Structure 1
């Protein structure tokens, strides 16, 4: 004796709803139409208290002292991988010796579980570059704050930025690079 038709339809409907719910959670297709723009200012030299001794300044070689501030130690241009991606990546050393990765003019697709990674992988064009960034050493600098705009990501203390040669906008959910930049030392 088979399952009554009404029960079969009810069970099928519940299963279909669960499958659709899991699919929506996993793929988050609405993010394809929702942009998140972040406009963070570039890191600046920390303010000096009025009663603090004057900080030494570097000589730029022209005889004009330059105020202490962030120094660009590496730079690169983002190329597209899984999704069209563009923008500039700069690795900045702050006066206190810490480092910040700055994305400027970022423009990529939104997606589930996007991260900013420092990696030691080579940046390859096209499909050949989609999956290479988790093959070697990498350091996650956190979730991508927005898929458009200018953003800063602190490099954790104890991480040597010189050990990394590229940056990837990495989709952790699907293990694929949306875009990447080779870091060229300045």
Structure 2
């Protein structure tokens, strides 16, 4: 009988790194506003890590209405910086985490973008507030 109650559990590993590399150093957060006639909503957190990189966390309330080739990246004062791209948006909604390489200094930016590379337009912008 007990075998029928067991539920298989699976996990996906996003990145292999020592846990100490992800120790929180500082956090910024923001809320998305849609752009270019797209609806983008929800919260984002950017957490600096001990290894000099960062994590971008789109919270469970994140949502994008859809677009071709959406990417996650950074910008400053209303201007997206293409070299800050951290990867393809994996899902149009829900909790998701992106690893930011140490070569990208997140202190240089005050916005997180959801960016459409096909049409070179913003889909959503979140202004970051320091904790």
User: TM-score, normalised on structure 2?
Assistant: 0.74
In the other structure, the counterpart of 1:37 is none
Q: C-alpha displacement at 1:94, in angstroms? A: 2.7
Identify the structure with the greater strand proportion: 2
May I ask how many residue pairs the two structures share in their alignment? Answer: 114
Q: C-alpha displacement at 1:46, in angstroms? A: 2.1
Separation in 2 of the partners of 1:80 and 1:147?
Answer: 13
Separation in 1 of the partners of 2:50 and 2:42?
Answer: 25
Following TM superposition, the consecutive aligned residue runs of length 4 or more in structure 1 with deviations greater than 6 angstroms are: none
Change (3 A) 1:79 1:99: same
Larger Rg, first or second structure (1 or 2): 1
Asked if residue 133 in structure 1 is aligned to residue 101 in structure 2, the reply is no
Counterpart pick for 1:160 among 97, 100, 105: 105
In the other structure, the counterpart of 1:73 is 27
What pairs with 1:54-93 in structure 2 (closer than 5 Å)? 69-82=23-36, 83-93=38-48
Structure 1's unaligned 5+ residue stretches are 1-39, 48-67, 123-131
In the other structure, the counterpart of 1:46 is 19
Asked if residue 171 in structure 1 is aligned to residue 105 in structure 2, the reply is no
Alignment RMSD (CA, Å):
2.6
